Structure 1
Amino acid sequence: MSETATTFRLERPREGVVVLTLDRPGRGNAMTAAMFAELEATARRLDREPGLRVLVLTGAGSTFCAGYDLADAERLPELGALGMLDLQESAARALAGIRGVRVPVIAAVNGAAAGGGLALALAADIRLASPRAKFVPSFVTIGLSAGDLGTSWLLPRLIGPAAAAEFLYSARTMGAEEAERTGLVNQVVGEDELLDAALEMAAQIRANSPGGVQLSKRALQANMEASSYAAALELENRGQALLTRTDDMTEALTAFREKRAPVFGGR
């Protein structure tokens, strides 16, 4: 799999774990049209990678992601309505691609996550933050809507509709401690330990059956949109029935009887 990109780098610190580091530190890891295209293409490739178990997102330097690069934003009026729609849809596909990767995605938020950077953090399944992390819904401060890149759908489901409304309308900055208290992030860890904590969490996830984790993610995401309890149960039933046919389920039961750790093969 080609891993060449100009706006981020990919590393594999442990088997089955990929770390995607946004790598434009001189611009606060701000987003560009090139980044959207590369994120979308990379998400598709990673989703097809058989051995992938966890994806970790973080930012180079002192910022997670400053949102859309304002240097590029100066050219937006030149695009016209359809050109702007193409760019917006490219950005949406990129973040939907990251969120849709079949394995868990952990965001290690090492600094400011503003605008589209906030949306990218929200697209992860789990968020860890350093004490200097801050979340800035800057959309309305530059004349845009906070209904951007999934923010208006994901944020209320994490912190509640009223809290999301106050946060988005005021465009105030939320620090790491408040983010942990409200449920926006799972945990705040020391700055020097952030990536290690994300990798440790990845290791805990990786110790479990690949199929079980992947179908758990599918159920959690799908049932956020389920129309009823009955629809949620139907999806869960199909997933469980499928997993009982796997070699990993047999291995898990055998290991339990033999009082040893299971060795999962993802089959």
Structure 2
Amino acid sequence: MISVERRGEVDWVTMNRPHVLNALNDRHVEELNHYFGALHKDRDCRVVVLKGAGRAYCAGLDLQEGGRSEFDTIDRLAHQRSIAEIVMKMRYCPQPIISLVHGPACGGGFAMALASDIRIAGESVRMNAAFIRIGLSACDIGVSYFLPRLVGASVAAEFMLTGNFITADRALQTGLVSRVVPDDQMEAAAAPLIEQMLTTSPMGLRLTKECLRMSIDAPSLEAAVAMEDRNQILCATSPDFGEGIKAFFEKRRPDYTKKKEQAA
């Protein structure tokens, strides 16, 4: 259902049900939950790239699969939460997530794209809060949380109250994605971003993702600054800070593997 390829310090995660546009079934949900849940303890993976096989990123929940009619309300709520936990684990894992979004990215697929830290869109992308088009609320799987924070309340309301598709041009215009490229150039577009992230210290990269997430919801400037102060002191007391300063003056790339090699 998903395949994970480790390339150096980067996991390339592919949702791999192309015959159904990578729609989510129970096994797919379970594997995504397990993968993102395990990232907290994975210190060798520093960046995650999430993409879909074939013609789509993810078309949302697989409505063709049966087995739901016997569910009572408690079962349905548990199943609903299992899907929502994917985006929660994506948000709380310490590794930055880059989503390469092309073709349909609907419903749960839309939610996973929104939960990512960086979104690069292929020219074919078509995203929407599909839930409202099938008799449900558009507020599902974190979309009502992520979308207004990314594009503002008015644009989010337009997309969520109509379920209209967001094309590549509109996604770029509203800041929903960082850039738009031809579908076959998405990996190439991600490469320099990954390279730049890997020149940062492991602790600095992790704490930056955490602080950015928490600052978006911070109740005050003081709360955000307190988190920033904590991050800087933690990083400054790490050996990586000394290596970063030394590399800066020597005009070379920092080598943050030295400490790991010495520990081994």
Partner of 2:174: 182
Are 1:232 and 2:229 matched, yes or no? no
Encode CA deviations 1:40-96: one digit per residue, 9 max, x unaligned.
111122331111110000000011000000112x54332110010010111111221
Q: Which residue of 2 aligns with 1:3?
A: none
Instruction: Kindly report the root-mean-square deviation, in angstroms, between the aligned alpha carbons of the 2 structures.
Output: 1.3
Residue 199 (structure 1) aligned with residue 191 (structure 2): yes
- 1:201 CA displacement: 1.8
Matched to 1:39, the amino acid is L
Q: Partners in 2 of 1:77 and 1:172 — Cα distance?
A: 29
Runs of 5+ unmatched residues, structure 1: 1-6
Structure 1 segments (4+ residues) deviating >6 Å: none
Check the 8 A contact 1:114/1:135 in 2, yes or no: yes
User: Which residue of the partner structure matches residue 25 of structure 1?
Assistant: 18
Aligned to 1:45: 38
The alpha carbon displacement at 1:266 in A equals 8.5
Match 1:157 to one of 145, 149, 153: 149
User: Per-residue displacement from partner, 1:14-38 (whole Å, max 9, x unpaired)?
Assistant: 3100011000001110011211211
Q: How many residues align?
A: 259
Question: What amino acid maps onto 1:83 in structure 2?
Answer: D
1:255 & 1:203 partners in 2: Cα distance? 16
The answer as to whether partners of 1:248 and 1:266 remain within 8 angstroms in 2 is no
Contact 1:211/1:266, CA 8 A, preserved across alignment = no
Aligned-pair identity (%) = 38
- CA contact 2:199–2:253 (8 Å) conserved in 1: no
| Compared CA separation, residues 266 and 98, structure 1 to 2 (3 A) | farther
The structure-2 alpha-carbon separation of the partners of 1:266 and 1:141, relative to structure 1 and needing over 3 Å to count, comes to farther
Cα distance in 1 for partners of 2:249, 2:120 equals 36
Question: Using the alignment, how far apart are the partners of 2:195 and 2:10 within structure 1?
Answer: 8
Partner SS for 1:121: helix
TM-score by length of 2: 0.94
- Which letter does structure 2 place at the counterpart of 1:164? A
Q: Deviations over 1:78-130 (max 9, x none)?
A: 21100100101111112211222201100000211001110010010000011
**Alignment TM-score, normalising by the size of structure 1:** 0.93
Is residue 2:28 matched to residue 1:35?
A: yes
**Structure 2 residue ranges without an equivalent (≥5):** 260-264
SS in structure 2 opposite 1:78?
coil
Q: Which residue number corresponds to residue 205 of structure 2? A: 213
Residues 184-216 of structure 1: per-residue CA shift (max 9 Å, x gap):
111001211112222332122111111111111
CA distance in 2, matches of 1:24, 1:261: 39
Correspondence for 2:108: 116
Return the alpha-carbon distance in structure 2 between the equivalents of residues 258 and 202 of structure 1: 23
